[in-house]
A and B are shown apart, each in its own frame.
Chain A
């Protein structure tokens, strides 16, 4: 239901844009989230974009603020993660996810719909 794309190898300081296309969910109502898993480390919440109805508010984890931008195109059922000024520590598998409660009654951050991830490697 969520398919990420756009990963690859990029040099430090470079940019990359990830995409996540959704199907089978009411995408325009969904709050979309990016999570990453770096080698040898744990899961890290990258950021979230709310639905248009909820203001399309975006929040990021501190390490990526000012460098990453999350946006969405509801006409294409797609959420994007624009990554700029990439650092070696951004190397990770990037997952797209969403809590189904974002389009149902009673919101919570339980992310129960996930993509299979796309790999980003930042290296010279």
Chain B
């Protein structure tokens, strides 16, 4: 059972917009930054969003993060086949004194 809650799967067709939710609590998302990672099997995870809504250089504008209260979401617009991957949210937890991850959401591009 992960500290942060994500849907196990989301799907969309090419060109669509999809969102992935991430629910936490006051000790993590509610008081700390949210991060989003993309992971393809056999590769290293990739940071997509940091500090709730900031994109590292090289990450397409199609990926955007937002946060409200104890929840966050990642939006992917103009869905492409190469976006099919596992997406994880993460945040520092003041009670556990550790970074906590969501269980991961598998994005399928139909």
Contact = CB atoms under 8 A, between A and B. Distances in A.
12 contacts: A43-B39, A45-B98, A45-B99, A45-B100, A45-B101, A59-B97, A60-B98, A97-B44, A109-B35, A110-B50, A111-B35, A112-B56
Nearest to B86: A42
Contact of B90 (A59, A109, A115, A117): A109
Given A109-B90, A109-B99, A42 B104 contact: yes
* A interface bracket (residues with beta carbon within 8 Å of B): 20 to 34
Given A45-B99, A62-B96, A117-B44, A108 B50 contact: yes
Contacts of B43: 116
Interface of B: 2, 33, 35, 37, 39, 43-47, 50-51, 56, 86, 88, 90, 92, 96-104
Most buried by A among B47, B92, B99, B102: B99
Given A43-B37, A109-B92, A114-B46, 20 more contacts: A42-B86, A42-B101, A42-B103, A42-B104, A43-B39, A43-B45, A43-B90, A43-B101, A43-B104, A45-B101, A60-B98, A61-B98, A97-B45, A109-B35, A109-B90, A109-B99, A110-B33, A110-B51, A112-B50, A114-B45
B45 A95 contact: yes
B103 A116 contact: no
